[in-house]
Structure 1
């Protein structure tokens, strides 16, 4: 049996490892001994045998070998046993019935020890996977520490979970789109994740690398996703904080959430909403000239004036953006000039006016949602 196992299963062929050769021999001898006991005394020693093979299954998982190798070795043993039985049955004058009974006992025995080994293998895999997941979550916590954790501690834990600390990372904030909808996404192994915390999050390595931009699109369709800016690993907490702020704005309808929100594309919006009390004061002061207009007229003038500031004061571009005639734009701009006067000539005033108008437009979008 041992010879055929070593010839037929490459994982068990270690002729130079005496300790391992002895371990294989002990496993085979124990299996044969217990089979003889079982045949002689129906059911005897079953508990001990199953424990032995559960332990063998756990050992295979710990060695990192596939379960297929162990199962192949067990089948080889059964085949060799049956072959020997067939050869010896005539010499021993065994009846056909007796041969069939022993053959059936071999098959039942094979099923029992294979099931016990598979059970031990699965238990070990669950334990190893659980320990690995705990370490990965601990690594995520270290990376998110504010102030940053000691780089040596991060490096040691990263090596323990076989995670390479990248040059840049991005924090990713998540929220399920609807209760009970967000399933467990299939994520690449280099993405650290904790979806069970109150505020689910990910760590995305090398977010600006080839193909990384669309990495989360398909796997997180059931989630609202906000991706923080790319930063060095020790600044990950800041990246995730911005991602969470963007996620909060998406929930309010300020930012669209049908696709992953990239904070790098919305930095001015994040700045505007960082201190909303201050922005409300800015709006009240800078947009006071619009106060006496009718709501519809106020909206038209504000929309046209914001487009004019964003288009470099080009009325034709404003007309194309708003889908109106250039003469309409010029008429509205004359009204705006009458309302704001010299404040449209000062760069500082124009800058603050654009902030106020952008804040107004974003707040209006959120209210419409």
Structure 2
């Protein structure tokens, strides 16, 4: 075969350029030279392999890995490469059978050469695929790193300059939207152990202490359903929609809401949205402050047993919420109106004129609402403890004992 390699190379190049348009570049001398180099190198290595089956093929395999990386770098698939390998193999087999007929080669020898040719083609295709995959993985890894850096930049406080966001977004191939919503993720639900899959326009970093996302244009058509579907396997909180430069504010509210949902203060059924719990977020924005207010306003209950405190606090809150109507309180609490009136007389004795002051009633409703939200969580309640010493102040059970 050796004396005919140049002629075979010409036939292969012509066939490849006929079948694969991407490789037919008449005006590009350097590309034609590269194609000829590849064909000649393959032919010489194949002949060496037939002559010595133990011949090392490392160089040509590495060469095809590099070709695969090059195809990925130019944004092409491996279809053209695989077609070219098949076309070259077809020409090689045609010339081999012609030569074998003239030399009266035995079928067994011809079969062995054909088997070597097919095996060699497979190895070249596998090497190209490996290089292609390596290049794609490297590009994907770099793109993921850029997107994580972009997420860091968007969550920066104080906010980053719009120009800096635009530059890094362009490098990360992320079109800058007009608005975004940040998402804070808790632990995946037990019935859905797999990590969620997100659309490519959603920035995600699941390696953070609190895994976080940024959803572009969250209020657009169909976006809410898309987000709910993507996040269905995890405890997830969507922050408020904000301009892209205020993403840090959205993630702050999302994290705060997530913390309350994990404590059970906010019911976490499906995807939670911060905007639906703004009053609770305001109420728990400064827990030390709300505890101090409770200490001041609920002091009249401090000498009672916990069970008495619970009944009277529940009645007082219902009374404040119902416009101070005893019959409506009875319906809310599912008790007899006479029972409500008895409790209200107790409250009047304990709180006196405070119940006539609208500002003090407002304070009472704030602390009683907070207490009600925590009432199902032992150790996290805003209720005065029973006083064991005489004095004007009362000890208050803090949010966390």
- TM class by shorter chain equals 0.7 to 0.9
Aligned match for 1:363, one of 367, 374, 377: 374
How far has the Cα of 1:306 moved from its partner?
2.5
Question: Which of residues 265, 277, 288 is equivalent to 1:277?
Answer: 288
TM-score of the two chains, using structure 1 as the length reference: 0.87
Aligned partner of 2:75 in structure 1 is 64
User: For residues 218 and 74 of structure 2, what CA distance do their matches in structure 1 show?
Assistant: 34
Aligned length: 369
In structure 1, the gaps of 5 or more residues are: none
Which of 224, 241, 264 aligns to 1:213? It is 224
Unaligned residue ranges in structure 2 (runs of 5+): 1-11, 381-401
Q: 1:205 to 1:326 in 2, by over 3 A?
A: farther
Q: Contact 2:169/2:175 (CA < 8 Å) preserved in 1?
A: yes
Rg (Cα) greater in structure: 2
Q: Kindly provide the CA deviation profile for residues 251-287 of structure 1, in whole angstroms up to 9, marking residues without a partner as x.
A: 3222233423322122222222222221112112222
1:135-181 alpha-carbon deviations (Å, 9 max, x no partner):
111111111111112221211110111101211222222232589x8
Deviations 1:65-94 (A, max 9, x none): 223332232122222322333344323433
The residue aligned with 1:89 is 100
Paired with 2:132 and 2:154, the residues of 1 have a C-alpha distance of 33
Partner in structure 1 of residue 7 of structure 2: none
Equivalences for residues 207-356 of structure 1 within 5 A: 207-311=218-322, 321-324=332-335, 332-333=343-344, 336-337=347-348, 339-356=350-367
Q: Name the residue aligned to 1:75.
A: 86
Indicate the residue corresponding to 1:115 in structure 2: 126
> What's the RMSD between the two structures over aligned residues?
3.0
Separation in 1, partners of 2:377, 2:24: 68
**Structure 1 residues 74 and 313: CA distance shift in structure 2, 3 A:** farther
| Compared CA separation, residues 197 and 304, structure 1 to 2 (3 A) | same
SS in 2 for 1:90: helix
Equivalents in 1 of 2:344, 2:18: separation in Å?
A: 89
8 Å CA contact 2:319, 2:329 repeated in 1:
yes
User: In structure 1, how many angstroms separate the alpha carbons of the residues matched to 2:101 and 2:117?
Assistant: 19
Deviation at 1:109, TM superposition (A): 0.6
